[in-house]
Amino acid sequence: LSCGFPGNKEVEPLKYAKVAMATSVSRKKVEGCIQGTTSLLSQCLTKGENIALVLRDVGVLLIEGMRVEMKFFYNFLEAVSGKKNLEIAGCKVPELLDMVVSQVAPVASLTSSGRVIIFP
């Protein structure tokens, strides 16, 4: 089942079996990990805690109070757009560079408070 939203956007349920096949992990383990992460994330948000959700090889989703920001790893953006396109975009829209972060940067340094719960 999928839910309709204004603007003809639809949300489909996560296909645990596909994730399991792609990651070579059992469906049960995939489902448990995703549900556990979702539950912990929900608890942290309810308590108003700052969160950094590290998405391996993609970037870091930072949630601080009412501010939500995505920082992407350069290698990910380069793979998605190509090095030349990334350089052109960076020159034309320098603000985009604020969305790029090094994979070796300490995650807590990305937050305004320096205090954050880091999800693996």
Q: How far apart are the first and last CA of the chain?
A: 30
3 state SS of 87 = helix
pLDDT bin (cut points 50, 70, 90) of residue 7 is: low
Within 1-120, strands assigned E span 3-5, 9-11, 51-55, 59-64, 67-73, 100-101, 117-119
pLDDT at 41 over 80: yes
Q: Crossing angle of helices 74-81/83-92, nearest 10°?
A: 110
pLDDT bin (cut points 50, 70, 90) of residue 17 is: very high
pTM of structure: 0.69
